[in-house]
Amino acid sequence: MNIFNSVESTGNIIDTIPCKKVFSRKKNKVKKKSVHITLKGEEIERLSALQKVIDPPTQTEVIVMSLQVMEALIDEYKKGSKFYIQRNGESEHKIYDVFS
């Protein structure tokens, strides 16, 4: 299931970052480097929960995709973009301050 497509809300389509731009899975010819990370129990649970939602084959891909999302958010933030959320059943959009 891809949860990152445009969402139709009250007749308007919310503009989103195209999934292909954020989640490109091109095979690079770049030499790979192993990185060792240590996660606490809660962080491992969060990683597993993300893996279930976005359905990548490995936890490494979850981390790579998370980096791509963070890079896209930072890029948009630097351009002056603001982020809004609208919860189901609510008509009001609320500003979502990602970086404070």
Domain assignments of the chain as residue spans, ordered by start: 39-100
In angstroms, the CA 72 to CA 86 distance is: 20
2-15 mean pLDDT: 45
Query: pLDDT tens digit string along 14-54?
Result: 455 555 455 555 566 778 888 899 999 999 999 999 999 98
Query: 3-class SS at 60?
Result: helix
Distance of CA 44 to the CA centre of its chain: 17
In angstroms, the CA 83 to CA 93 distance is: 10
Q: How many residues does the chain have?
A: 100
In angstroms, the CA 61 to CA 89 distance is: 33
pTM for this model (two decimals): 0.64
